[in-house]
Structure 1
Amino acid sequence: MAYDAELAARVRDLMPAGATEVKMFGGLAFMVNGNMACAVGADDLLVRTGRSAYEAAIAAGAEPMVMGARTMSGYVNVAADLLRGDALADWVSRGLATAESLPPKPPK
């Protein structure tokens, strides 16, 4: 699966200095201190919300992230139609807040 290069460029512009990119989940993941903040797919954005902000993200229109038969708590998928204009910055900031709250992972 290819990821949306235009959406990836928009997300890249919102990432802090030092953020890295890794091909993951068939898309492009954006990492902060070794922790995933979000990932761009073909037509959506995967956002790491953590368990505490998961329900608020669902209430804001995101869908649960499902891998196979398993729902991944703490992660949501945000459809492209919810990423227009300044809305993308809000979703990315949710993922950044979660990634930045976690202990840094040592480089591999």
Structure 2
Amino acid sequence: MAYDEELAKRIRHAITLFPEDFTEKKMFGGVAFLYQGKMTVGPVKNELMVRVIKSKMENVLNQEFVRPMDFTGKPMKEFIFVSPEGFSTEEQLQNWIELGLEHAKSKLK
């Protein structure tokens, strides 16, 4: 399964603006960007996969261009997909990365 390399490049550039160090790992047919070994965001095909803390899932899922991440017919907990319209600007992409980073940090406590 291919992923949008241009989106991956945008994410690589965007994460340089964060003081945290991210790593990359191929998974879900795309590439995931991890913080201290915990997934944050990544391109899957032409969509953006984002990890979201449980307490924010309901509100996030009510946003336009967002849907549950579903590979097998059952939504994965604390994972969403954002369609390209939802991260068309760099500010929108930064917001999704911040959300994914928040999730990763919550798993380190």
Normalising by structure 1, report the TM-score.
0.88
Percent identical among aligned pairs is: 34
* Partner residue, 1:6: 6
Question: 1:73: Cα distance to partner?
Answer: 2.0
After TM superposition, give the deviation of residue 91 of structure 1 in Å.
1.1
Summarize the alignment of residues 27-66 of structure 1 with structure 2, pairs less than 5 Å apart.
27-61=30-64, 62-66=66-70
Moved beyond 3 Å, runs of 4+: none
Please give the root-mean-square deviation of Cα atoms over the aligned residues, in Å.
1.4
Number of aligned pairs?
Answer: 104
Task: Show the counterpart of 1:84.
Answer: 88
Q: CA deviation at 1:97?
A: 1.0
Kindly provide the CA deviation profile for residues 25-63 of structure 1, in whole angstroms up to 9, marking residues without a partner as x: 000100001000012112100100021111121112210
Aligned partner of 1:24 in structure 2 is: 27
Which among 69, 76, 94 is matched to residue 72 of structure 1?
Answer: 76
CA distance, structure 1, for counterparts of residue 95 and residue 37 of structure 2:
21
Unaligned runs of 5+ in 1: none
Query: 1:53 touches 1:74 (CA, 8 Å); kept in 2?
Result: no
SS at match of 1:68: coil
